[in-house]
């Protein structure tokens, strides 16, 4: 099933509802191939992003952000 869509100025497209209903997940992998762009739904990321995010409390993140702003505006 192929359908024409329009890309916005921000590079966004809307996947038609009939196609979205056939996807197994809302997590998508995108890649560029010789034929164009391939969009592939992914069932589970299996925690692969867990190591990318530092676990800090809200207060720690807030203090760190304010310290950074204060340092940059000296």
d(Cα 13, Cα 3) in Å, to the nearest integer? 12
d(Cα 40, Cα 31) in Å, to the nearest integer? 8
pLDDT at 49: 61
Range of the domain at 30: 1-44
In a domain, 39, yes or no: yes
Number of domains making up the chain: 1
In a domain, 29, yes or no: yes
Beta-strand (E) ranges in 1-74? 28-33, 36-41
In a domain, 55, yes or no: no
In a domain, 15, yes or no: yes
Name, in order, each residue with C-beta under 8 angstroms of 68's C-beta and a sequence gap of 6 or more.
none
In a domain, 73, yes or no: no
pTM of the full predicted structure? 0.50
Residue found by looking up tokens 């692969």 in the block: 48
Tens-place pLDDT, residues 21-68: 988 888 888 999 999 999 888 876 666 666 666 677 888 888 888 898
Asked if the model's pLDDT at residue 1 lies above 70, the reply is: yes
Six-digit token string for 57 = 């409390």
In a domain, 65, yes or no: no
């Amino acid at each position: 099933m192929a359908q024409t869509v329009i890309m916005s100025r921000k590079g966004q497209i809307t996947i038609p509802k009939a196609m979205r209903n056939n996807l197994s997940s809302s997590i998508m992998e995108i890649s560029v191939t010789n034929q164009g762009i391939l969009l592939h739904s992914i069932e589970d990321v299996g925690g692969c992003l867990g190591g990318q995010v530092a676990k800090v409390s809200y207060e720690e993140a807030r203090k760190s952000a304010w310290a950074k702003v204060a340092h940059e505006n000296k």
